[in-house]
Chain A
Amino acid sequence: MQNSAADAIVTADGKPLKVSLAKALRRQRMFALALVAPLFIFVAISFIIPIADMLFRSVENGIVEEILPQTVKALESWDETSGELPDEAVYAAMVADLKVARKERTNTKVGQRLNYERSGMSSLFRGAGRKASRIKEPPYKEQLIKTDKDWGKVVTWQVIKQFSPNLTPGYYLAAVDAMQTPEGDIRFEDSEKAIHTKLFIRTMIMSVVITLMTLLLGFPIAYLIATQPAKIGNLLIILVLLPFWTSLLVRTTSWIALLQQQGVINDILVFVGIISEDGRLAMIHNATGSVIAMTHILLPFMVLPLYSVMKTVPPTYMRAATSLGAHPWPAFWKVYFPNTVPGIGAGAILVFILAIGYYITPELVGGTSGTFISNRIAFHIQNSLNWGLAAALGAVLLAIVLVFYLLYDKIVGIDNMKLG
C-alpha cells in the first residue's frame, strides 16, 4: 500500500519523486566522493594493496612449479605414500630442470624455499645445479643419487611434491608450529619446540598485562584531570601528551638507562640498602622491561579516551548519589564507575591492539623473554627472508585481534565505546 503510494508521487515536471531526489543528491554524493578520493587513493596504494600482497604471500607458492616445471609434472604420477623412490622419468625431469635453473641461477632460490620446510634442501640444490649439468645421459637416477645421497631419500621427493602446488597451507601451519606429513596428516611440534605458539601466547598475555597496567595507572590520572578546573586540567593533559613530543626511541632507551643492572634504580636500591650489590634486579632485557616500558609508552592511549568520557560524566552524579545516602565509595562504584565503562572499553581496546603488534620497544628492551610475535615477524622479513611465513604470522596476528574485537563487541558492545 505504502510503496505503491510512494511510487505514485511525482514532482511538478511529472518525473517520479525518487528519480528527482536521486538526481538532486547525486551532486552532493559526487562532491563527497571527490573530497574522499585523494585519501582513498593514498590508502589504497600505500596500505590496502601492500597488505593484500603480503596476505597473498602467506599462501602463494608458485616458485617450485616455476623453476622445476618438468619435475612437478613428472611427480604427479608418483605415489608419495608408497615409500619408494620416483622412477627414472622424474629424475630425468629434475636433471633437465636443474640445467635450466643453473643457467638462470634460480636453483638456489628453489632450494631456499624448500629449506623452510626441510633443512638441507638449500645446500642440496646449490650443489645440484653444478653437478646436474655434468650428467649428460641416462640413467639419470643413479647418477643424480651419486652426486648427493639425499636424492635417494624418499622424503626429499615428498617435500618437493608436497610443495609443488601453487597455493600452500604450509606457511600457516608453520605459523602455528604445525606441519603436514607426506601422508597428509597435520602434526604439531612438541611444545618445547613450538616457538610461534609460545610467542603468540606470550604476546597476548603481555598485552593483557600492559592493558591492565595502563588502566590501573591511567584511571586515577584521568579522573583527576577530568575533575580539575579547566585551567589545571589542560595543563595536566599537556603533561600526559608530553611524551608524544619525544621520540619513541629516546623514551625506550631512557628506560634502559633507568632499569639496567648498573642503572639508576638499581643504584639507588643498593645505596639505600634494600638490595645487596650481588642482588641487583634484572629489570630490563626481559619481560619485566617490556611491560614497564610499554605501559609507559601506551599510557596516554588509555588516559585520553578515559578523560574524554569522564569529562562528560557530570559531577552532580556523585553529589546526587551521596545526597541519596550512599557513602562516597559505593557511590563511586555504583554511579560514577559504570558511566566510565565506555572510556575503559575504548582505552583498553586501543592499548591492547597497539600492544599486540608493538615492535620497537620489545626489540630494544625485551631481551629473549620479553619479545613479541612482531619481533619474530620482523626477523623473518629482514633476516631469514621467509616472507611467506612472516605474512602468515601477520595474518594469524590479525585474526587474533579480530577475535578479541568480536569478543569485546559481544561482551561490552562496540557501540558502548567512546573515543571522545
Chain B
Amino acid sequence: MGDPFVRFQEVQKSYDGETLVVKNLNLDIANGEFLTMLGPSGSGKTTCLMMLAGFETPTHGKIVLDGAPLNDVPPHKRDIGMVFQNYALFPHMTVAENLAFPLKVRKMGKAEIEERVQRALDMVQLGPFGGRRPMQLSGGQQQRVAVARALVFDPKLVLMDEPLGALDKQLREQMQFEIKHIHDNLGITVVYVTHDQSEALTMSNRIAVFNDGIIQQLAPPADLYERPDNAFVAQFIGENNKLTGKVTAADGDRCSVELDSGEKVTALSISHGGVGQKTMLSIRPERVMIGDDVKDCDVHVDARVQELIYLGDHIRTRLTVCGRDDFVVKIPNSTDRAGLVPGNEISLGWRTRDCRALDMPDNL
C-alpha cells in the first residue's frame, strides 16, 4: 500500500474555542476502501466528515486527498460526492435534472450528460424514473437517486452521512447491500458515517469507532467485534457481558483478576491499568458455554437463571453471575435446554482467550 488516499493529520476541531469536538485525529484511508465512522451522537464523526467535505474547517491539522492538501480548497472544487442524511434532492428539479446538475456545472456536452444520467439511473435500477420529481418517489427510491447523484460525476471520493437513517428496517438492510455492491463494482473510496453498528459491520472494510472526539479503535469489523481494544468499543459494538474486578497479577498476555464478588479468574491482558487497578472483563454472550461444553472451559462459575427469552433461532438467557444479574448467554435452539428454568442454579464457563481484561469505564 503506497501513500494513503485520504489522510487526516493531527486534525482538531473546536466550535466554541473551549472544547474540542475532534481531538487530534490521525486517520489514513486507502484507495478503494469502504471506511465507516461509527460512534454515538456527539462523538465527532459527522464533524470529521464535514471537514472532509469542506463544510467545516479544521481548527488545526491537515487533511490530504490524493496527495493534495484540502485545507484551502472550497467544497465545490474538492470533487467529493456526498449523500446527505435527508438526501437533499432538489425538489424543483426532476430526478434526471438532479443527476444532470453536477454534470451541467462541469459544462459537459448535452449528449454525454444524457448518457451518464441514464447510466447512473440504470445503476440504481431507476431507469424509467428520470422524469419524476423526487417527491413522487418513495423513501428508498429517493435514497437511490441521492446515491446515483453523488456518483454520476465520478468523484474521487464519496461521503455518506447516515444515508439510511430515514428508511425502515427492511429497506435499510436491502440498501446496505446495494450500496455495498455499488462500492464493490465501481471500486470507489467511500467514507460512511453511521451510529448503527450493524450497518457498519455489514458494509465496511474498516470501521473507525469514535467517542469523545477520539478514534477508540480502527479495525476491520471482525476484529472490532472479537477483539475490542477497550471498554468503550466492547460495549458499543454488539452485546457484551461485563464483570468488574481488580488485577492481582499480570504475566505476559495473561492476567489474574479478583472479581468484586471474590472469584478469581484469568483473562487476556488488553488495556487494564496494571496490577492493583480496577478492570472490566468482557466476554461475548455467544462465547459462554453451558452444559456438557463447560468441561472444555478454562474458567468455571456458578450461575442462577433469571429469565429466558425465546428468539426462535436462539434463546437469550439472563443469569446472575458473580454478583451481576445482567449476564447474558445466547443458547442455540438445538441444545438440550433441560435445567434452563428461571431460578435454577447451573454451571457455566468460558475460555481464557475469550475473556478480555479492559480498562475500567467511568460509568461502572
B177 part of interface (Cβ distance < 8 Å): no
Q: Are A323 and B82 in contact (CB under 8 A)?
A: yes
Q: Give Cα A314–Cα B86 distance, bound, in whole angstroms.
A: 9
Measured CB to CB, the nearest residue on chain B to A320 is B88
Q: Are B88 and A319 in contact (CB under 8 A)?
A: yes
Name 17 interchain pairs, CB-CB below 8 A, sorted by A. Answer: A316-B88, A317-B90, A319-B88, A321-B101, A323-B53, A323-B81, A323-B150, A324-B81, A324-B149, A324-B153, A325-B77, A325-B102, A326-B76, A327-B105, A335-B101, A339-B90, A339-B92
Q: Give Cα A180–Cα B252 distance, bound, in whole angstroms.
A: 115
Given A325-B106, A326-B105, A335-B90, also A320-B84 (CB < 8 A) = yes
Q: Mark B49-69, 1 if CB is under 8 A from A, else 0.
A: 000011100000000000000
Question: What residues of chain B lie closer than 8 Å to A420, measured between beta carbons?
Answer: none
Measured CB to CB, the nearest residue on chain A to B99 is A324
Taking residues whose C-beta sits less than 8 angstroms from the other chain, chain B's interface range is: 20 to 34
Other 12 A-B pairs with CB < 8 A, given A319-B84, A327-B105 = A316-B88, A319-B55, A320-B89, A321-B101, A322-B76, A323-B54, A323-B150, A323-B159, A324-B101, A324-B102, A325-B102, A326-B76
B302 part of interface (Cβ distance < 8 Å): no
Instruction: For residue A285, give the distance in angstroms from its CB to the closest CB of chain B.
Output: 45
Q: Give Cα A18–Cα B149 distance, bound, in whole angstroms.
A: 50
Question: What residues of chain B lie closer than 8 Å to A316, measured between beta carbons?
Answer: 84-86, 88
Q: How many A-B residue pairs have CB under 8 A?
A: 67
The 6 A-B pairs with the shortest beta carbon distances in the complex, nearest first, are A324-B102, A320-B88, A316-B88, A323-B82, A322-B76, A326-B105
Instruction: For residue A358, give the distance in angstroms from its CB to the closest CB of chain B.
Output: 33
Q: Are B88 and A314 in contact (CB under 8 A)?
A: yes
Given A316-B84, A320-B82, also A325-B91 (CB < 8 A) = no
Give the total of A residues in contact with B, Cβ under 8 Å.
19
B55, B91, B102: the one contacting A339 at CB < 8 Å is B91
Question: What residues of chain A lie closer than 8 Å to B74, measured between beta carbons?
Answer: 322, 328
Question: What residues of chain A lie closer than 8 Å to B55, measured between beta carbons?
Answer: 319
Measured CB to CB, the nearest residue on chain B to A326 is B105
Measured CB to CB, the nearest residue on chain B to A330 is B105
A317, A325, A338: the one contacting B153 at CB < 8 Å is A325
A331 part of interface (Cβ distance < 8 Å): yes
Instruction: For residue B233, give the distance in angstroms from its CB to the closest CB of chain A.
Output: 31
Question: What residues of chain B lie closer than 8 Å to A335, measured between beta carbons?
Answer: 90, 101
Instruction: For residue A251, give the distance in angstroms from its CB to the closest CB of chain B.
Output: 37
Q: Give Cα A339–Cα B80 distance, bound, in whole angstroms.
A: 24
Instruction: For residue B55, give the distance in angstroms from its CB to the closest CB of chain A.
Output: 6
Question: What residues of chain A lie closer than 8 Å to B92, measured between beta carbons?
Answer: 338-339
B274 part of interface (Cβ distance < 8 Å): no
B263 part of interface (Cβ distance < 8 Å): no
Q: Mark A306-342, 1 if CB is under 8 A from B, else 0.
A: 0000000010110111111111101100110011000
Instruction: For residue A317, give the distance in angstroms from its CB to the closest CB of chain B.
Output: 6
Measured CB to CB, the nearest residue on chain B to A331 is B76
Q: Are A322 and B86 in contact (CB under 8 A)?
A: no
Question: What residues of chain A lie closer than 8 Å to B91, measured between beta carbons?
Answer: 339
Q: Which interface residue of A321, A325, A326, A331 has the most chain B CB atoms within 10 A? A: A325
B75 part of interface (Cβ distance < 8 Å): yes
Q: Give Cα A331–Cα B94 distance, bound, in whole angstroms.
A: 16
Q: Give Cα A198–Cα B53 distance, bound, in whole angstroms.
A: 58
Measured CB to CB, the nearest residue on chain A to B101 is A324
Measured CB to CB, the nearest residue on chain B to A318 is B88
A314, A317, A323, A338: the one contacting B80 at CB < 8 Å is A323
Q: Are B105 and A324 in contact (CB under 8 A)?
A: yes
